[in-house]
Amino acid sequence: MAIKAGKELIVKIEKFALGGKGLSRVNGEVLFVDGGIPGATVRVKVTRKKKSYSEARILEVIEPSPDESPPFCFHASYCGGCYWQRVNYDRQLEWKERLVRETLEHLGNLDASTVRPITPSPETLYYRNKMEFAFSARRWFRPDEIAKEVELKRDCGLGLHVKGHFDRVFNVEECYLESPQAVDLLKTVREFCRGSGLPAYDINRKEGFWRFLVIREGKNTDQRLIHLITTTNDEAAGTIEALGQMLEKTGMVTTFVHSTNDSLSQVAFGESSIVLFGQGYIEERLGNFRFRISPNSFFQTNPRGAEILYGKVLECAGLTGGETVWDLYCGTGSISIFVAPHARRVVGVELVEEAVADAYVNVELNGIENCTFHAGDIKEVIRELSTDVPDVIITDPPRAGMNPKVIRGLKDVKARRLVAVSCNPATLARDLSMLADSYRLLEVYPFDMFPHTPHIECVALLERK
């Protein structure tokens, strides 16, 4: 039985693949099944046939997986958010740990016995401190809306993307990732914007006003920031002010920032901002430290998980108080601040200037005097840093991993230890394998920072060969 696009097949899901799809084999050919859970038998339709693999979607679950549990969210069947919520949490953890082993071995040719047991997230619901919601000029109708058989209008929507569709946004009614207050605020903003007379941004026509709503929370400080991103429209100032007054009255919002972004790329990033009320940023506490977080700065999205993760980074760094440490991709300096009391000095590098400004404020807030930060692209900055030889290097790149120039720079620098933090096992495996002639991999610690999603965080410890 050969796999062909459009063909219907009955298959058993063998395992999860990195990225979260179920994997099945048909006569040795790999078939990725969207939403497939290991152990389930499903009838599928092949949606795409490629040279080395094919893709399919489920038409019918013939026998459910023994690892399956009922979804807790009303939107589970189409939301691109936490789409592993149908898998028992213990089994999610087992699969994540296994995926790290397999990825390091198969993609990086690395020793999988270095992988230690995964650390679960301290919280599995309401664990996120940041959610980005997109506006849509033509919202996608949910199955329950269609079933009501009332006339629906493809008007302004604000919510999350339908799984696998960057251009489809549905109105979110409930969400278990951030907090119930965040969902209330989302609905409040949505109603206001729908009634404002101003259009949502249309990604096909590249026009419209409302673009993104980002809600950030300090989980340990009970502070909340609303970051609204629109295109530029000088006539809309009164509307934004009225929205600000409404948000202030809710008593749930500490600060409201309005940013504009006229670029064509669909990224929730404010190019120029004004603060409507409050300080324009929120604070968060992790361990004994305080952090300022500005609207565009990166901050770990699972703060209680981050505290444990940073503890492991510190342990892996093996500091005695006399070391120079580089914290590459340092964001708002949170890792720098965690390790600084145990090192002689810390040098952080970060691309986003706003995050570097936050990092400087953060060291001051915490009375730390041995950190300096550089704003810039690491692949450029690393050459300037190379005159100052570090004992320990910590890296924490985005999902795409490290640029080959950065890898070459790390090889040239004779650091005793390298602690590699990563939110993508595939690029971690690639980067560690490129470093393998200079650094020996000792241990890899997987962390679950993103329950109910297939995302996996890791901390890897390497020593100079």
Ligand X SMILES: C[S@@+](CC[C@H](N)C(=O)[O-])C[C@H]1O[C@@H](n2cnc3c(N)ncnc32)[C@H](O)[C@@H]1O
In angstroms, what is the minimal distance from the CB of 458 to ligand X?
A: 12
Cβ nearer to ligand X, comparing 102 with 350: 350
Question: What is the rounded CA–CA span in Å between residue 285 and residue 220?
Answer: 6
In angstroms, what is the minimal distance from the CB of 398 to ligand X?
A: 5
The answer to whether the CB of 110 falls within 8 A of the CB of 426 is no
Q: Does 179 bind ligand X (CB under 6 A)?
A: no
Q: Does 436 bind ligand X (CB under 6 A)?
A: no
Question: What is the rounded CA–CA span in Å between residue 404 and residue 293?
Answer: 30
Query: Which residue number places its CB atom closest to ligand X?
Result: 331
Q: Does 198 bind ligand X (CB under 6 A)?
A: no
Structure tokens at 147: 């079933």
Tell me the per-residue interface mask from 262 to 301 with ligand X, x by CB under 6 A, - otherwise. ------------------------------------xxx-
Q: Is 350 annotated as a binding residue?
A: yes
The footprint of ligand X on residues 373-392 (CB under 6 A) is 377-378
- Residue 193 bears catalytic tag: no
The footprint of ligand X on residues 325-364 (CB under 6 A) is 329-331, 334-335, 349-352, 355
Query: Which phi and psi angles does 41 have, rounded to 5°?
Result: -110, 125
Q: Is 396 annotated as a binding residue?
A: yes
Cβ nearer to ligand X, comparing 377 with 463: 377
Question: What is the rounded CA–CA span in Å between residue 322 and residue 344?
Answer: 5
Cβ nearer to ligand X, comparing 179 with 300: 300
Question: What is the rounded CA–CA span in Å between residue 236 and residue 247?
Answer: 17
Catalytic residue among 79, 82, 423, 458: 423
Number of shown-chain residues binding ligand X (CB under 6 A): 19
Per residue, the 3-state secondary structure of 44-90, as one string, reads: EEEEEECCCEEEEEEEEEEECCCCECCCCCCCCCCECCCCCCCECHH
Q: Does 36 bind ligand X (CB under 6 A)?
A: no
One-letter amino acid at 429 equals A
Burial status of residue 72 (CB atoms within 10 A of its CB: 0-12, 13-18, 19 or more): middle
Question: What is the rounded CA–CA span in Å between residue 341 and residue 345?
Answer: 9
Positions touching ligand X (CB under 6 A) are 298-300, 329-331, 334-335, 349-352, 355, 377-378, 396-398, 423
Active site residues: 423
- Where is the binding site for S-adenosyl-L-methionine, in residues? 300, 329, 350, 396
